A and B are shown apart, each in its own frame.
Chain A
Amino acid sequence: MKRFLIYSLCLFILCSCETVIDVELDSTEPALVIEALLQEGTHDFEVKVSRTQDYYDSEVIPFEEQTEVTLSNNRGESWEIPQQNLGLHKREITAESGLLYTLTVTVDGVLYQAISFLPAQIPIDSLTYEFEDANPFVDEGYQVFINFTDPLGIDNYYRVLYEEEGVPQREAEDFQVIDDQLIDGNQVQLPLFGKTFSPQTNMAIELRSFDEAAYSYYNSLADIIGANNNGGGNAAPGNPVSNWTGNILGYFIAYSSDAISETLPDR
């Protein structure tokens, strides 16, 4: 969609131009950001605490406040997550699907909490690919599809991430989050949208499943970073819909995932 609109715009607006300009932005009180991803299985669990900085400030400002972090679930288990250094907590955790996890973070005596449900893994059935000739939307190359089966009657939320030759692709245009409203219970063949890949590229693809709150977060984040851009700009820029209490930024997301890796054939 985005590419299409841009393409049609370009045809008509032969004289559109982009320039980097100076826009003065006011400084603002730094806001708290807490980011934590809990993966199903046994993995290192990291909690990052930071603050926002001025928009044009490219130096990373170290976080210098004391924090305490506790993870618990609805089976009554609880773990202290020890501080590695200021703003980073880390511990190996074994997370199970079907449980509700609660993360509690105390920053300077103020308590923040977020809850995330860890859904069952949705396995990837296969990767398939089709060779496409060059067209105004994409370059010549393989279009890659990820095939999986959406469970019928359950709300599922997905995110697709991929690596090309071992390099994670994290551009805004690679940000792909979907719900199953239109694909409930189907054999899904989901393309890596708007992209083609050269023959013999090694592709590693991951399919993550998480709850609705996580979907809302990713979906609004996608809007903000421009991944859902529809050509006319975003009507209502705001901060992503966080699941943290206390009106802060960031997220706590528990997810399960499956991954597959394959090398694309010769032409």
Chain B
Amino acid sequence: MYLFLLISMPAMLTAQKVTISGNIRDASTGEDLIGATILAAPLQGVGTFSNEYGFFSLTLPPSSYSIQVRYAGYRLYEQEVDLQISQRLTIELAPLESTLEVVEIVAEKENSNVSDTQMGLTKFNPKEIETVPVLFGEKDIIKVIQLSPGVKTAGEGNTGFFVRGGGLDQNLILLDEAVVYNPSHLLGFFSVFNSDAIKDVSLFKGGMPAEYGGRASSVLDIRMKEGNKKEYDLSGGIGLISSRLTFEGPIQKDKSSFIISGRRTYLDLFLGLSSDEAIQNSNLFFYDLNTKANLQLGEKDRLFISGYFGQDNFGFGDEFGFNWGNATGTLRWNHLFSDRLFSNTSLIFSRYTYEFNFGTGDEAFGLESVIQDFSLKQDFSLFANAKQKLKFGFQATRHRFEPGNINAGSESSFNDEDTEPKYANEGGLYLQLDQTVSERFSFNIGLRYSIFDYVGPGTSYTFNSQGEVLSEESFEDGESIEFYHGLEPRLSMKYQLDENRSIKASYNRNYQYLHLLTNSTTSTPTDVWVPSSNNVKPQIADQVSLGYFQNFMDNTYEFSVETYYKNLQNQIDYRTGADLFINNTIESELVFGSGYAYGLELYLRKRKGTFTGWVSYTLSRTLREFDEINNGDPFPARQDRIHDLSVVANYNLTSRLSLSANFIYYTGDAVTYPAGRYTVDEQIVPYYTERNGERIPDYHRLDLGVTLRNKPGKRVESSWNFSLYNAYGRENAFSIEFRENEDDPTRTEAVKTALFKWVPSVTYNFSF
């Protein structure tokens, strides 16, 4: 196959054809538009999409064409082009004033969900979901993604998520290509992604393109806004928990721009009002800062610099401090080698740290943990002709893990001793081909070759079956401790039955070389990332999926049904009572097994009209099998929620007033309940037999929202958003604990903890 490609490549390049290429942008802000459809009428089924940088290239026989560009939420763009020699265009699409307009103006088809080869893809842009009611009124793209099929939340109000039965750590979360290791604030209740700074979000649940690698179950690709190239814009919002402010504008009109967007919580400001000095000196906040600048350097080059900094700070006087946060940075250079060969080179930095401090001066004790990456990524897109697009490139990453650096004062009981840092080099090389075979049939085939080298300086350990150290060996700087590599084939296919219906199939294999160890059921700041090593093998996922896609009533309704089966190798679990905190031989606490997941996902979405929204339903199972757990029998993973239903509705009552509602229902998590009790050590102790053999009660909840916009045409656009989370006050179980009755210690009982019963909130948004 690949040999064929290489041989036929020169032929594709030299065919007697001309190229129309250029960029697609938003007419009001100059923002690049990702994934806009470009069609060349009157040719049928000939077209392309704008890439992550708004660039497109279409090579056609010389003729006259009507170039049509479509993008959800924008007016249709049409331009007659007499294409005799290659041309470059900058196309600006005018945004629709409101969703109400859609029906009247874009009578044309918008059926990319049917016609695109990619399946298992969920796309949102923050604009589309503005009115969805959320907890505390904090707009959060991840919480909306959790309402789509195949995606499950990690728990009440939590931003962690599971995709098609995979683990929390099996999602590759990218912000402008940089990996975000801990995408949550405040124990997971808020994600680090400030909607104001985000342009586009794509979640790949299956059939991932070969350009992505490193996680077993999904890719969440988040792209930041570039900033308004036309005019200065100040926007923001004031909410219950936090306030946001964004400033953007041109550096040079129509050519370059910048954006700075910040968000900070302010609950801690009230602490200052306290009369207690210790409380006055306390910290309790998080913030996010997103910045980006892009520069046009001549016709063929563009430079992007983007950065994200976010931190959670908790502190109580001098006694105690706990901080954590991510920092990422991306420097990107787009270069056009020709109007058909697009290149992007990225230098990427990512760092996650958490830190504790106790006490002061000589008695102080502090602990810091760091994971840090430097990456170089090179991608080429070759727009060979209207039917073939080739993408290839590589990525190289240097990982550094510092599981626990201890800072102890001279009078402290603790040793000033660090756990050993670990190093690893990760690489990926890929090639993928997008091929339109006929008007009906197209496929995307790709191959990724990934390598992972766990290197010194460091010590490797071997353990016996009880987890005791058998031997250890020291390695020099750069010496390979363990080397893994793997081939990851990817394939997606589409067969279009007619204009409104298609069938798609895909297969993907993904390798995952980094693993998240967590002691608790939801993600916490102290979770540890560990590299694959002589003891920990890479996780491998194989997934096949099949889907049927149909649009109804002139693409007003989108419908899809997808099924999948996923096999997971080298899954990780823990020995009972595993100690994951500051432990040099942390690997001895792990046990290894396999898993599988399968499911059916139904999705019906109404995109146009006064009433919009979607219904998503997932029927799925996900199981694990470990020799050491549950007597070696398969057991359900915690997120094995058999039924999962989300209904999201928005009704535009008038152009200024809209009402919205969500309803969520899912089967309770699989949990382990005691099968009996006994007394040892003068304590009543639960006796467990089956892992995850029971279910907590089913979860359901209704959220309501009202959005009121000011009169159009005013200088300041503003809106009020009111929402009520968990409107009927369902006490959903966050956890169920079994414990002794407080009055009668011989009696034992089950205690349910519920969070978030009726949470009202109000947010004011403005834009100058």
Q: Is the CB of A4 within 8 A of B518?
A: no
**A13–B383 CA distance with the chains assembled, in angstroms:** 53
Q: Which of B267, B638, B676 has the most CB of A within 10 A?
A: B676
Contacting chain A: which of B205-213, B332-340, B659-667, B680-688?
Answer: B680-688
A172's closest neighbor in chain B, by CB?
A: B683
Chain B residues with CB under 8 A of A230 = 519-520, 524, 526
**A234–B576 CA distance with the chains assembled, in angstroms:** 10
Residue interface bits B718-759, CB-to-A below 8 A is 1, else 0? 000000000000010111111100001011111111111111
Q: Is the CB of A183 within 8 A of B414?
A: yes
Q: Is the CB of A240 within 8 A of B577?
A: yes
Cβ of A137 within 8 Å of any chain B Cβ, yes or no, is yes
Given A12-B186, A21-B736, A58-B748, residue A181 in contact with residue B582 (CB < 8 A): yes
**A236–B521 CA distance with the chains assembled, in angstroms:** 9
- In which size bucket is the chain A interface? 35 or more
Q: Is the CB of B673 within 8 A of A25?
A: yes
Cβ of B87 within 8 Å of any chain A Cβ, yes or no, is no
Cβ of B491 within 8 Å of any chain A Cβ, yes or no, is no
Chain A residues with CB under 8 A of B579 = 219
Contact of A20 among B314, B694, B731, B750 (CB under 8 A): B750
Q: Is the CB of B756 within 8 A of A15?
A: yes
Q: Is the CB of B754 within 8 A of A231?
A: no
Nearest CB in chain B: distance from A136 CB, A: 7
**A58–B689 CA distance with the chains assembled, in angstroms:** 20
A17's closest neighbor in chain B, by CB?
A: B754
Q: Is the CB of B680 within 8 A of A35?
A: yes
Q: Is the CB of B678 within 8 A of A219?
A: no
A225's closest neighbor in chain B, by CB?
A: B683
Chain A residues with CB under 8 A of B575 = 241
**A232–B757 CA distance with the chains assembled, in angstroms:** 19
Contacting chain B: which of A47-55, A109-117, A195-203, A257-265?
Answer: A47-55
Q: Is the CB of B675 within 8 A of A15?
A: no
Number of A-B contacts (CB under 8 A): 216
A5's closest neighbor in chain B, by CB?
A: B187
Residues 258 to 306 of chain B near chain A (Cβ within 8 Å): 267, 278-279, 284
Nearest CB in chain B: distance from A240 CB, A: 7
B518's closest neighbor in chain A, by CB?
A: A235
Cβ of B316 within 8 Å of any chain A Cβ, yes or no, is yes
Chain B residues with CB under 8 A of A219 = 577, 579
Residues 311 to 326 of chain B near chain A (Cβ within 8 Å): 314, 316-317, 319-320, 322
Q: Is the CB of A182 within 8 A of B738?
A: no
Residues 160 to 203 of chain A near chain B (Cβ within 8 Å): 168, 170, 172, 181-190
Q: Is the CB of B414 within 8 A of A15?
A: no
Cβ of B573 within 8 Å of any chain A Cβ, yes or no, is yes
Residue interface bits A1-21, CB-to-B below 8 A is 1, else 0? 000110011011101111111
Cβ of A108 within 8 Å of any chain B Cβ, yes or no, is no
Q: Is the CB of B576 within 8 A of A241?
A: yes
Cβ of A120 within 8 Å of any chain B Cβ, yes or no, is no
Residues 210 to 266 of chain A near chain B (Cβ within 8 Å): 216, 218-226, 230-241, 249-251
Q: Is the CB of A236 within 8 A of B414?
A: no
B517's closest neighbor in chain A, by CB?
A: A235
Cβ of A31 within 8 Å of any chain B Cβ, yes or no, is yes
Cβ of B189 within 8 Å of any chain A Cβ, yes or no, is yes
B750's closest neighbor in chain A, by CB?
A: A23
**A182–B418 CA distance with the chains assembled, in angstroms:** 9
Nearest CB in chain A: distance from B240 CB, A: 11
Nearest CB in chain B: distance from A20 CB, A: 5
Cβ of A22 within 8 Å of any chain B Cβ, yes or no, is yes
Q: Is the CB of A18 within 8 A of B753?
A: yes
Residue interface bits A49-65, CB-to-B below 8 A is 1, else 0? 01111111110000000
**A136–B280 CA distance with the chains assembled, in angstroms:** 12
Contact of A135 among B278, B675, B734 (CB under 8 A): B278
Nearest CB in chain B: distance from A69 CB, A: 17
Given A31-B687, A135-B319, A183-B415, residue A11 in contact with residue B284 (CB < 8 A): yes
Q: Is the CB of A190 within 8 A of B413?
A: yes
Q: Is the CB of B521 within 8 A of A235?
A: yes
- In which size bucket is the chain B interface? 35 or more
Nearest CB in chain B: distance from A43 CB, A: 17
Q: Is the CB of B576 within 8 A of A240?
A: yes
Chain B residues with CB under 8 A of A188 = 413
Cβ of B674 within 8 Å of any chain A Cβ, yes or no, is yes
Q: Which of B519, B575, B689, B736 has the most CB of A within 10 A?
A: B519
Given A17-B754, A249-B687, residue A220 in contact with residue B317 (CB < 8 A): no
Residues 682 to 725 of chain B near chain A (Cβ within 8 Å): 682-683, 685-689, 691, 694
Given A232-B522, A235-B521, residue A220 in contact with residue B576 (CB < 8 A): yes
Chain A residues with CB under 8 A of B611 = none
Q: Is the CB of A239 within 8 A of B320?
A: no
Chain B residues with CB under 8 A of A135 = 278, 316-317, 319
Cβ of A153 within 8 Å of any chain B Cβ, yes or no, is no
Contact of B520 among A12, A31, A232 (CB under 8 A): A232
Chain B residues with CB under 8 A of A235 = 518-521, 574, 638
Chain B residues with CB under 8 A of A137 = 316, 319-320
**A218–B131 CA distance with the chains assembled, in angstroms:** 51
Chain A residues with CB under 8 A of B187 = 5, 8-9, 231-232
Chain A residues with CB under 8 A of B519 = 230, 232, 234-235
**A170–B386 CA distance with the chains assembled, in angstroms:** 75
Cβ of A77 within 8 Å of any chain B Cβ, yes or no, is no
Given A15-B756, A16-B754, A17-B757, residue A221 in contact with residue B680 (CB < 8 A): yes
Q: Is the CB of B414 within 8 A of A186?
A: yes
**A58–B740 CA distance with the chains assembled, in angstroms:** 10
Contact of B681 among A30, A216, A221, A238 (CB under 8 A): A221
- Top 8 nearest A-B pairs (CB, nearest first) are A220-B577, A232-B520, A238-B576, A52-B676, A28-B675, A23-B750, A237-B672, A188-B413
**Beyond A4-B320, A234-B520: 15 further Cβ-contacts under 8 Å?**
A15-B755, A15-B758, A18-B753, A21-B733, A31-B676, A52-B676, A53-B678, A58-B747, A218-B681, A232-B521, A235-B521, A236-B629, A238-B688, A239-B688, A250-B680
Q: What are 17 A-B pairs at a CB distance below 8 A?
A: A4-B316, A12-B186, A15-B756, A15-B758, A17-B731, A19-B731, A31-B687, A33-B680, A53-B676, A54-B676, A135-B316, A137-B319, A182-B414, A226-B737, A230-B519, A237-B576, A241-B575
